[in-house]
């Protein structure tokens, strides 16, 4: 169920972006896709053999990337994208040199960094109309935690850390 929500909710958000032609940065959504794909691979390599939430996010991020690309948005490469690429590379090096568990920490830092511009935007201009997206993402994370095969790092780290990130964004949405 977490994988289905992890796919449906953000993909619907992508559809709303496509229909509204709201300006988006293609580079940012490309990074979110790459990071979601990395998170999927790392969670699986660390022992989560049913990373449905991460799979749903990766497919949804690709759909959002496709939607903003088809809308004719431009790619702007800034410090967030550079930091995300660097931290993603650190995650890959940690994975190859030590373990997927250590790499998941770098991946999650990269994911948090990739959301800094959104959080700054919400701090300046709260957007309560997007509340549904963040609340449903929290629910999908909670379902992943409750449905985890094992209560170990591989199965719980990504959904718990993502839940915390989405709670922060939810609060910013309402300020």
Q: Which among 76-80, 118-122, 129-133 has the top mean pLDDT?
A: 129-133
Nearest one of 104, 113, 114, 115 to 51, comparing CA atoms = 104
Residue 168 pLDDT:
95
Residue 164 pLDDT:
97
Residue 155 pLDDT:
87
**CA pair distance 58, 120, nearest whole angstrom:** 24
Flag whether pLDDT at 111 surpasses 90. Answer: no
pLDDT in tens, 129-165: 889 999 999 999 999 999 988 899 888 999 999 999 9
Tell me the mean pLDDT in the region 107-119.
Answer: 85
**CA pair distance 9, 90, nearest whole angstrom:** 29
Residue 162 pLDDT:
93
pLDDT in tens, 30-73: 888 988 898 898 888 888 888 998 999 999 999 999 999 999 88
Residue 107 pLDDT:
85
Residue 30 pLDDT:
86
**For the chain, how many structural domains are there in total?**
1
pLDDT in tens, 81-97: 788 778 778 878 877 88
Residue 74 pLDDT:
82
Contacts of 15 (CB under 8 A, 6+ apart): 67
Upper half-sphere CA count for residue 165 (Cβ side, 13 Å): 20
- Enter the pTM of the model: 0.82
Contacts of 127 (CB under 8 A, 6+ apart): 121, 173
Nearest one of 140, 145, 170 to 11, comparing CA atoms = 140
Range of the domain at 7: 2-174
């Amino acid at each position: 169920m977490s994988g289905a929500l992890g796919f449906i909710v953000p993909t619907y958000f992508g559809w709303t972006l496509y229909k509204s032609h709201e300006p988006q940065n293609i580079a940012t959504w490309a990074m979110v896709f790459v990071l979601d794909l990395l998170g999927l691979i790392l969670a699986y390599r660390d022992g989560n053999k049913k990373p449905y939430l991460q799979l749903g996010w990766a497919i949804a991020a690709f759909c959002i990337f496709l939607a903003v690309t088809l809308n004719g948005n431009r790619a702007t490469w800034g410090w967030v994208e550079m930091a995300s690429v660097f931290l993603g590379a650190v995650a890959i090096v940690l994975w190859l040199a030590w373990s997927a568990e250590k790499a998941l920490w770098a991946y999650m830092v990269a994911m948090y960094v990739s959301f800094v511009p959104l959080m700054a935007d919400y701090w300046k201009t709260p957007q309560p109309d997007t509340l549904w997206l963040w609340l449903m993402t929290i629910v999908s994370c909670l379902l992943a935690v409750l449905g985890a095969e094992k209560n170990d790092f591989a199965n719980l780290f990504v959904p718990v850390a993502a839940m915390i990130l989405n709670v922060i964004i939810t609060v910013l949405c309402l300020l």
